[in-house]
Structure 1
Amino acid sequence: MSEDYQPHVILLTGGAGFIGSHVCNHLVLKYPDVKLICLEKSCISFISLPSELTS
């Protein structure tokens, strides 16, 4: 991946688990201006998905 790459939105699945929570912390520190969306399997339903993910 390019060194100049700057994401706008990051979607992380499994963010409530041990590894996912550490990845989430790393991403927040590395990309402080980026919107981070964490989805967890137990909370996913089509009704509760944010509008950013359905379009």
Structure 2
Amino acid sequence: MYENSGLKIHDQRIRYVSQDYVILFRKNSSVGLHFIIFCIHSIFIELQVVSTILYEML
């Protein structure tokens, strides 16, 4: 089962990477598509983590 500390570290890592993407997006508008793909990808990762926690709770 996932511990809360692991989820916090994962969440912080996504925030750091997304900040880097925002800086790149301001420099080059073509990065916008990659940023959208990254956001969708990170949301899927979060859903997988949440679903595994819920599955183990059942």
* TM-score, normalising length: structure 2: 0.34
Q: Larger Cα Rg: Structure 1 or Structure 2? A: 2
Q: Would you tell me which structure has more helix in proportion to its own residues?
A: 2
Q: Would you tell me which structure has more strand in proportion to its own residues?
A: 1
* TM-score, normalising length: structure 1: 0.35
